[in-house]
Each structure stands twice: as C-alpha cells, then as structure tokens.
Amino acid sequence: MSTSPRPRVLMCPPTHFSVDYDINPWMTGNRDQADRGRAQRQWENLHALVADAADVELIPHVPGLPDMVFTANAGLVYRDLAVPSRFRHAERAGEEPHFTQWFAGARFAVDLLDGIEFEGAGDALLDRAAPRLWFGYGHRSDARAAAALQERLGLEVVPLRLVDPRFYHLDTCLCPLSGGELLYFPAAFDETAQAAIAARVPEDKRIAVSEEDALAFACNAVNLDNVVILNRASAALRQALAAHGYRVRETPLDEFLKAGGSAKCLTLRLDEPGLN
C-alpha cells in the first residue's frame, strides 16, 4: 500500500468564463463565442479525472476576470513558497490580488518578483526527475525572471525562448512527465532552447509531438503519477505515451481552447516539487 500523500491541485470553477478580449492568437475571432454551459460540463469532466488522483482545492471565480479559470497562471509554487504572477496584459492583472490572497490564506510564503512580468506555472515548470525549473519567455514572462527565480528557488533554471505566438506559454508546448520524460513540440522553441533541452534530457526521454497534436494542446497535459490527462492525442502520441508506461485520458476542452487554454492551464499543482 502506498503511503505517499495524494497530490494537491488548485482549480477555479468556470462560473464567469467567457472570451471577452484578445491577448493570444487563439482568442482572435472568438469574442463572446464560448458556451458557458458546455464549458462548465467540460470543466466538470476534467475535475472528475483530476480528483481521481489528487485532492482538488477550489478558488471561487471572480466576475469580470474570465481567464481566472486558468489557475496555472496564479503563480509558481515551490515547497512552501508561492511566487504570484505579474501579468503582461492589463486584462489579467485584476487576478493578481485574488490569487495572492489565496496563497497567503493557504499558508504559502508569498514572494513577488518586483516589476518583472512573470506568468507563473504557465511559464515555469519543474522537472519531475531532476532539481530543475524549465522557464519559458519571449511572449509573456520577462527573461529577467530566470535569475530572480534561480535565486529564490536555488534550482537550476533553464531559460527557453518561445518563438511561435500560438505557443505563448511554456505549458502550451512542454510538459515534464513523472518518469523524467519531456513531452514537447520542438518547433515552438528557438535553436538554443532546443539544444538546452537536448543537453539535459536523453533522446529516449524526449517525446516530441507533431504539429497536429501540439495544436490540439496535447502538451498542455496534467500528469499525475502514470496518468496523462489531455484534450486530445493522436493514435501515434497515445502509443508513444503508452510505450513509456503512461495511461492517456482524453477529455474534450474545446470551449477553453477558444481562450487559448486546456487541461494543464486549468490546474495548478500545489505540492511541488512533486517528484514522483
């Protein structure tokens, strides 16, 4: 019998979810196009899958902040430390005090990055097998956050420049898996970033996805132990993940894709580093 505690995850029910503005290419042309009832059902299905393997905590959705459902952007959690996001876009800045207050109430030590744009676990992902933080910049987070995070966390921080506007957050194109593999879409990164990944992760642990899978947000996956929860995966990707011992759970999240988010963005792991 396993004695390890269950993972903890923060989610926000999509009570006031909509697409009200346009801050990433996925939102373009989708203003007012989200179906809230359908979004609610899709979120509930995701919640049920996550709750099978983790204890889920909820933060209430604040009206007027439609993207607050994407709790990955609340901040970066490491042990008892929470580094809240400082959003690049004014449209999301109103979420900051709500998430910061939630972290404080949940007894995290809150440490803000002064004057540096940083979008939390959207752009900062802990490796599952090594003491290392993968950090994406180029669209949302400021490259200068890398040094600030290295200092606070005392981990190797690997900055990765993102070059495709469709993959504007690191968690849209890279997912560290529990066995030390990286699920990722190489073309979303510049050459230096691809080399930085290759220098640290052996080839048999690099699971590169096709553009088709990347556009279906397959890298935006929630990995809990050997389960990988995602919007959609091709047969080839399901096979590749199975070969590494993972069980894939697909759950449609197309209402949230209209805002540029999917499974992983709708969750924030609270028990980090969460090395499996």
- What is the CA angle 193-195-201, rounded to 5? 100
CB of 92 to ligand ARG, least distance (A): 6
Q: Is 185 in the site for ligand ARG (CB under 6 A)?
A: no
HSE-CB for 111 with a 13 A CA cutoff:
14
Strands, E, within 127-274: which ranges?
Answer: 132-137, 156-161, 174-176, 182-184, 206-208, 222-224, 227-230, 247-250, 268-269
Between residues 139 and 238, which has the closer beta carbon with respect to ligand ARG?
A: 139
Question: Which residue type does 109 have?
Answer: A
Q: Is 86 in the site for ligand ARG (CB under 6 A)?
A: no
The answer to whether the CB of 52 falls within 8 A of the CB of 264 is no
Contact with ligand ARG (CB under 6 A): which of 47, 86, 92, 269?
Answer: 92
Contact with ligand ARG (CB under 6 A): which of 18, 85, 172, 178?
Answer: 172
Contact with ligand ARG (CB under 6 A): which of 117, 127, 171, 272?
Answer: 171
Q: Is 84 in the site for ligand ARG (CB under 6 A)?
A: no
CB of 221 to ligand ARG, least distance (A): 12
- Tokens for 66, please give them: 């439609």
CB of 91 to ligand ARG, least distance (A): 8
Q: Annotated catalytic residue: which of 12, 139, 169, 173?
A: 169
> Can 139 be counted among the known catalytic residues?
no
Q: Is 223 in the site for ligand ARG (CB under 6 A)?
A: no
213 phi-psi bin (left φ>0, alpha ψ -120 to 50, beta other): alpha
Between residues 72 and 113, which has the closer beta carbon with respect to ligand ARG?
A: 72
Q: Is 145 in the site for ligand ARG (CB under 6 A)?
A: no
Neighbours of 271 (CB within 10 A): 14
247: CB partners within 8 A, 6+ apart: 226, 227, 228
User: Interface with ligand ARG by CB under 6 A: which residues?
Assistant: 23-24, 27, 67, 70, 72-73, 92, 122, 169, 171-172, 259-261, 265
